[in-house]
Structure 1
Amino acid sequence: MKETLLHVDGMSCPSCIRHIDGALRGIAGVEKVDVKLREGTVLVKHDPSSAPTNVLVEALRDAGYESRPRAA
């Protein structure tokens, strides 16, 4: 398992947290999602062989949020 910290643009309310959490938890290989609204980040614990970072970013884009990896 790997932990990836993503910076997410456009998070502004508790509803955003639910949308982001749902988009990422729907990916096979994602074990844990920790959304920090105030920091604008999401920490994802995932299996990189089945849920690589680019898949996480794409899922967030599909949910309406731009994101990019950040150094943890």
Structure 2
Amino acid sequence: MTQLTLKVEGMSCGHCVNSVEGAVKGLGASAKVDLRSGLVTVDYDAAQLSADAIKAAIEDQGYDVV
């Protein structure tokens, strides 16, 4: 497993957490959101999924990966 930590802007509530975690889960990975720091930690199989695909899935939910 590979771990990726992303800084994500625009998250402010439980709905945001559910949106981001759900988008990542839909790709076959798992995510943990820390609203206070704005960080999203993703555990994924790098042989099956790219970091760019994870970033795109989060951005598709309306958040900015910086």
Aligned length: 66
Q: Give unmatched runs, 5+ long, in structure 1.
A: none
Q: Give unmatched runs, 5+ long, in structure 2.
A: none
TM-score by length of 1: 0.85
The share of aligned pairs that are identical, in percent, is 33
Moved over 6 A (4+): none
* 1:66 and 2:57 aligned: no
Shift of 1:50: 1.4
Deviations 1:32-69 (A, max 9, x none): 2111011101100001121110000000111111114x
Match of 1:40 in 2: 38
TM-score by length of 2: 0.92
